[in-house]
Amino acid sequence: MPRKRFRLELKQETIHLGDRTLIFHTTKLPRLEEPEQPFRDLDVLAAQAVRAAELGADVLDLSAMSLDPALWPVSAEVELRSVIPMVKRLRKENIQWISVTTCHATVAAQALQAGATFINDPSGLKMDPELAAAVCQHDGALIVAHMRETPPLWSQLAPLHDPANEAFVVLSANVNRALRAGVPRTRILVDPGLGLGKRKEENSQILGHYARLREIEYPVVLTVAGKLFGGDAVPDGERAAELAAASFAIQAGVHGIRGTNIVDYRAMANVIDPLLIARGVEATPKPRRPLLPVRPRAGSARPMPGGESPSGRGGEVSPLRPPLRGES
């Protein structure tokens, strides 16, 4: 099935999603707990991010938050100390599209003011209801995810009966929450939140039933890095498993992949994207000219068995038939 097409309105730019998979490169930033703590790795992390863009990343995604139950939640003040300097640094490097992963409206607002384009909220607007309004006020694009409860409660959650339908229902509600806050539908993307309170079998079911997510009618960004999927674990096979999931997701029709294996993601997308386009062209029925009855040309009648002409009696055209027994 060909990938769905969407129009995404970014700051002073409109891009058309559907023909090319967006690759999001994720960069974990240090958590600067003290107000005067220096950002010692800024130069190194900025250089790594710029290199990722050169290797094929379309969007550089920055995060100083943590989904570790022992560290959740990271305060907005701590996130701001590393996120804002990094956004400003990448803008000086002429990086076009920057995404910031956060659940705080204040971080979202200041990141967009500093030059970010996307805000990725793993909580699906549950942690800070004002985040959507902040994105709207600063002309940002919003990625809303499906996260079950909060990280400290994940180990206590019961299994999902229908993971794909659960993701569809919750994401639809989260999108409606963003729309009510004023975010235009052409600036909303969704993330089914693999691993966010989900078991590996549930991750597989959501990805395997991707057709259900297509019904949301919004572009889908999927995070596969560090996620577990159903199947037997193979020693040292985590990377291969991640790339297999990424390949399956691109073929299923996702619009963006988030992770760290940029070269592999881009190489796979560069092969699969044209195949999806070709599949879509082949699936489109071409208009066919109606078949017209063929009239025999004058003087070109072929003799029939027995010496009769094809016009038969009364000038009517006799239907073609195989020779009867006894005819030569």
Residues 270-303 pLDDT 10s? 999 999 999 886 555 555 555 555 555 555 555 5
Residue of 268, 227, 229, 230 whose CA lies nearest to 250: 268
Residues 130-171 pLDDT 10s? 999 999 999 999 999 999 999 999 999 999 999 999 999 999
Query: CB 10: neighbour CB atoms within 10 A?
Result: 16
What are the residues whose beta carbons fall under 8 Å from the beta carbon of 14, sequence distance 6 or more? 7, 8
pTM for the full predicted model: 0.84
Residues 67-83 pLDDT 10s? 999 999 999 999 999 99
Distance CA 229, CA 227 (A): 7
Residues 78-136 pLDDT 10s? 999 999 999 999 999 999 999 999 999 999 999 999 999 999 999 999 999 999 999 99
Mean pLDDT, rounded, for 34-50 = 95
Mean pLDDT, rounded, for 48-77 = 96
Q: Which domains are assigned to the chain?
A: 6-283 (3.20.20.20)
